[in-house]
């Protein structure tokens, strides 16, 4: 049934492999009924379950079914068997826009055409409550008529993904294209972050290289945080002015898409395109994304016992970079502020870590105000110097057997918070902590100080130290 004689579900003849990732393969295919070419993304269910990506796949399905725009890759239907999920999508045979840019900068009128189509698609997505969050030339495809198609909504977010503060909090995207507020990890508006990425793409199309580039990752992040970039001399004055408004590091003053669409440079040579009306688009049959992951369809779903404690957040590359002491980005955004968070790693299960934190809170007469998956909100029972002390504890999964825990002050006095952490919480956590962030660096500094006190062995120990750190 699944793929006998290269025919899928008696509907699609499977052709050549177009691309392959960790969890999925994309094949060219032909609709046996209509003869139309399609692309079929084949996702391995078991792998998706094992790494906890079910919600991401469901979100991608929901998002792609919301978006019907001539400059967005269309999802025709989703099918599933016991072992696979199949996305049947529009086949875009022109390849990635990245391949064009890799050969060098584009002519101004060509770059403007792609930018117009990109802005049109992104504006439509935002009108439907969808933020893409990973806009880059690799995710922009070209059809046979050289028209742009936005693809890969795997990291996209719906408006209901926002927390109570109205902001998104998942750090994701591609480093060189990501907005500074996303790196900041204090919450961001997904639509405004997309606008920044569009600005980086426009720069790349016209220049042939990135606006924020540096072999040192921290220096690149510093430039992004400050909005430091230079335009090449062939950029027209109106382009320079537009980019300065798009690549504004302050999301509150960054130009809106509506204003971008009114810009005289953007509107130049703009060809009117027929509006895609809902009535003109044949809606696909209703799809329950939950059914795609139906418990009766996959044996491994029954293997995983249902736990009271929800799974903690998975760490992506951005999180690992920003949590690492060596890549602490807080200095790019906060100056002369006392550190309000502490982090440790543990090789214990998330349920054990949460139980331990609950025990400590109970012993210190602190109240658990909120418990949501790998997140705990703890509050004091009495007023301090600056009100009631609040502590947020969040558990992130690096691997299924290794977790990173971040605790930070959410309210109250910083000195009182640091005292409780140092004198009460840290000692009580010693049996579950693998290491505290920054302790390795402190040990290295102490070793260096000892080496400085032993001049006769300085050269030897310096070599050993360098080799160890490498």
Give dist(CA 295, CA 4) in Å, integer: 25
**Does residue 108 contact residue 59 with C-beta atoms inside 8 Å?**
no
The answer to whether the annotation marks 93 as part of a ligand binding site is: no
3-state secondary structure the chain: CCCECCEECCCEEEEEEEEECCCEEEEEEEECCCCCEEEEEEEEHHHHHHCCCHHHHHHHHHHHHHCCCCCECCEEEEEECCCEEEEEEECCCCCEHHHHHCCCCCCHHHHHHHHHHHHHHHHHHHHCCEECCCCCHHHEEECCCCCEEECCCCCCEEHHHCCCCCCECCCCCCHHHCCHHHHHCCCECHHHHHHHHHHHHHHHHHHCCCCCCCCCHHHHHHHHHHCCCCCCCCCCHHHHHHHHHHCCCCCCCCCCHHHHHHCHHHHCCCCCCCCCCHHHCCCCCCCCHHHHCCCCCCHHHHHCCCCCCCCCEECCHHHHHHHCHHHCCHHHHCCCCCCCEEEEEECCCHHHHHHHHHHHHHHCCCEEEEEECCEEEEEEEEEEECEEEEEEEEEEEEECCEEEEEEEEEECCHHHHHHHHHHHHHHHCCCCCCEECCHHHHHHHHHHHHHHCCHHHHHHHHHHHHHHHC
CA 55-56-59 angle, to 5 degrees, is 85
Residue 119, φ and ψ in degrees, nearest 5? -65, -40
* Residue-wise burial string across 104-142, b where 16 or more C-beta atoms lie within 10 A, e elsewhere: ebbebeebbbbbbbbbbbbbbbbeebbbbbbbbbbbbbb
* Residue of 123, 134, 319, 392 marked catalytic: 134
Give dist(CA 23, CA 401) in Å, integer: 21
**Residue 134 annotated as catalytic:** yes
Annotated binding site: 41
Active centre residues (catalytic):
134
Annotated binding site for ATP: 41
């Amino acid at each position: 049934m699944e793929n006998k004689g290269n025919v899928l579900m008696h509907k699609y003849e499977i052709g050549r492999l177009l691309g392959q990732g960790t969890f999925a393969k994309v094949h060219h295919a032909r609709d046996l009924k209509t003869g139309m070419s399609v692309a079929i993304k084949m996702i391995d269910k078991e792998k998706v379950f094992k790494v906890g990506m079910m919600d991401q796949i469901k979100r991608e399905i929901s998002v792609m079914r919301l978006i019907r725009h001539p400059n967005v890759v269309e999802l025709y239907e989703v099918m599933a068997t016991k072992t696979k999920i199949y996305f049947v999508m529009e086949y875009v045979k022109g390849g990635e826009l990245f391949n064009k840019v890799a050969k060098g900068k584009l002519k101004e009128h060509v770059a403007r055409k792609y930018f117009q189509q990109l802005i049109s698609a992104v504006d439509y997505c935002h009108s439907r409550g969808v933020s893409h969050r990973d806009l880059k030339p690799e995710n922009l495809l070209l059809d046979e008529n050289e028209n742009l198609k936005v693809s890969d909504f795997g990291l996209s977010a719906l408006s209901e993904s926002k927390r109570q503060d109205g902001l998104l909090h998942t750090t994701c995207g591609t480093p060189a294209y990501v907005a500074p507020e996303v790196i900041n990890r204090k919450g961001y508006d997904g639509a405004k972050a997309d606008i920044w990425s569009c600005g980086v793409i426009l720069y790349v199309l016209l220049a042939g290289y990135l606006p924020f580039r540096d072999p040192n990752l921290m220096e690149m992040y510093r430039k992004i945080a400050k909005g430091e970039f230079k335009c090449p001399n062939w950029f027209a004055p109106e382009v320079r002015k537009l980019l300065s408004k798009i690549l504004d590091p302050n999301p509150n003053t960054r130009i809106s898409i509506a204003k971008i669409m009114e810009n005289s440079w953007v509107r130049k040579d703009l060809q009117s395109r027929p509006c895609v009306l809902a009535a003109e688009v044949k809606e696909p049959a209703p799809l329950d994304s939950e059914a795609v992951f139906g418990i009766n369809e996959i044996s491994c779903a029954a293997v995983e016992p249902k736990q009271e404690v929800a799974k903690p957040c998975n760490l992506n590359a951005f999180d690992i970079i920003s949590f690492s002491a060596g890549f602490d980005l807080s200095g790019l955004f906060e100056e002369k502020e006392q550190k309000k968070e502490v982090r440790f790693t543990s090789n214990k299960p998330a349920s054990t870590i949460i139980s331990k934190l609950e025990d400590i809170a109970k012993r210190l007469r602190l109240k658990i105000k909120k418990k949501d998956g790998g997140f705990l909100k703890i509050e004091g029972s009495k007023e301090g110097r600056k009100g009631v002390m609040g502590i947020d504890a969040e558990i992130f999964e690096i691997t299924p057997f290794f977790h990173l825990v971040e605790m930070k002050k959410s309210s109250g006095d910083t000195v009182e918070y640091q005292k409780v952490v140092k004198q009460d919480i840290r000692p009580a956590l010693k049996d579950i902590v693998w290491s505290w962030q920054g302790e390795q660096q402190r040990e290295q500094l102490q070793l260096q100080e000892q080496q400085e006190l032993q001049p006769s062995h300085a050269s030897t120990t310096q070599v050993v130290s360098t080799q160890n750190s490498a």
